[in-house]
Structure 1
Amino acid sequence: MSPPLRLLSPRSASRALRSLGPSCLRPTSTSHSSHLGPLQHVSRRALHTTPHHAQAHNKFNETAPDQPPPTDFARLDVLGQTPPPATSIDACLPDGFVLGDGTVTISDGSGALLVGGEAFAWRPWDEGTKKLVNGKGQWEIGGGEEGALERAFGVLGVVWPRPDLLILGLGPDMRPLSPAVKKHISSLGIRVEVADTGNAASQYNLLATERGVGEVAAALIPIGWREGEGAK
């Protein structure tokens, strides 16, 4: 006769499981785990927030970024809206000058003296010799004759206020000034800059526009000047 079946209460069953320990929870066979096979190596890939197709498109079909608009240099020209002075030099002729948009022409071989917004025909040389270079190769007026410098620069002596700067254009070539010429201009309290007439005219136009005709004056010999012959 079989022994009677004893039913365990839940509490008795719990005590029985604890007495068996963790070994009872181990699998009794490895047949199930062997079915899974060996663990596979998982490769690592970089994480990108841009889709792959978008990256390929950008790589081979890149478009140029938006460029800033080109610089308008005309707007940066601070003198662009400033009208040129009435005595601006438009052209240097072999025997004279054209001033003020063609409104004034100085010809017949005369030079130009531009002071205080006024233009004067200027003939500082001796009419007999027509020379402006001394034996040392220096630019000189009157060959050292007394009173020649006062007559040549007489307007600068009477105008007031006097200009701060006198630009001398010595004809087709630039030469050093004689000590007498430099001393006389300095005695008037005026600084002097020397150049050939073409460059002197350009410098006068720029500085007279920038600083005003009251600050800058010019004395120019025609570009066609020849020693002993004059300007033709």
Structure 2
Amino acid sequence: MLAGDVPPPVQVSSITPAGIQLADGLILPSACIFLDGKVFLWNVPSNLWDGWGREHLSVFETAVPKPEILVFGTGKRMELPPPSIRGYLKEMGIQLDIMDTRNACSTYNLLAEEGRRVAAALLPYTPRQWRS
């Protein structure tokens, strides 16, 4: 059979001290964004919310269609982002759900399986920078 459909979205298997493990076994040691069934490496400041700006979420400006929901995993525990980040996403019409990364992974998987237009921004338990 020829594959004419959109491939299934990338699923998260678990979150470990080593990073975010995908269903295929690949471990992403640093922050990443799940958008439109794909995974993108995400370079963010190492301190949560310190130095964060619109540029860290600008990938969502170019997404067509935009996700209905952004599930944001903030590490080991849930930490609310500053009002500027929440307002920026609201301006784009994206609902923001913030939770710890373990719950964000599960929520993303569930919503993606339901066929929702969902994206996930996931921070690992141990902050690491992507090497350029």
TM-score (norm 2): 0.83
1:196 aligns with 2:118: no
Q: Could you give the per-residue CA deviations for residues 112-161 of structure 1, whole angstroms, max 9, x where no partner exists?
A: 20000110111221xxxx211xxxxxxx2525xxxx32x21122110101
**How far did 1:163 drift?**
0.6
3-state SS of paired residue (1:207)? helix
- Assess if the C-alpha contact under 8 Å between 1:111 and 1:220 holds in 2: yes
3-state SS of paired residue (2:112)? helix
Counterpart amino acid of residue 164 in structure 1: E
Q: 1:158 to 1:201 in 2, by over 3 A?
A: same
Q: 1:141 to 1:168 in 2, by over 3 A?
A: farther
**How far did 1:188 drift?**
1.2
- Assess if the C-alpha contact under 8 Å between 1:86 and 1:100 holds in 2: no
- Assess if the C-alpha contact under 8 Å between 1:194 and 1:200 holds in 2: yes
Which of 87, 96, 101 is the aligned partner of 1:183?
87
CA distance in 1, matches of 2:42, 2:16: 15
CA distance in 2, matches of 1:170, 1:195: 6
- Assess if the C-alpha contact under 8 Å between 1:198 and 1:223 holds in 2: no
Ranges in structure 2 where 5+ consecutive residues have no aligned partner: 1-6
Q: Could you give the per-residue CA deviations for residues 179-201 of structure 1, whole angstroms, max 9, x where no partner exists?
A: 11101111111000010000111
3-state SS of paired residue (1:175)? coil
Which of 10, 18, 21 is the aligned partner of 1:87?
10
* 1:101-180 alignment runs, 5 A limit: 101-102=24-25, 104-107=26-29, 110-125=30-45, 130-132=46-48, 140=49, 142=51, 148-149=53-54, 151-180=55-84
- Assess if the C-alpha contact under 8 Å between 1:168 and 1:219 holds in 2: yes
CA distance in 1, matches of 2:32, 2:41: 5
CA distance in 2, matches of 1:118, 1:158: 14
**How far did 1:97 drift?**
1.4
Counterpart of 2:123 in structure 1 is 221
**How far did 1:211 drift?**
2.4
Which of the two has greater helix per residue?
A: 1
3-state SS of paired residue (2:32)? strand
Report the identity percentage: 33
Counterpart amino acid of residue 66 in structure 2: R
Ranges in structure 1 where 5+ consecutive residues have no aligned partner: 1-83, 133-139
Q: Which has the higher relative contact order, 1 or 2, with Cα contacts under 8 A spaced 6 or more apart?
A: 2
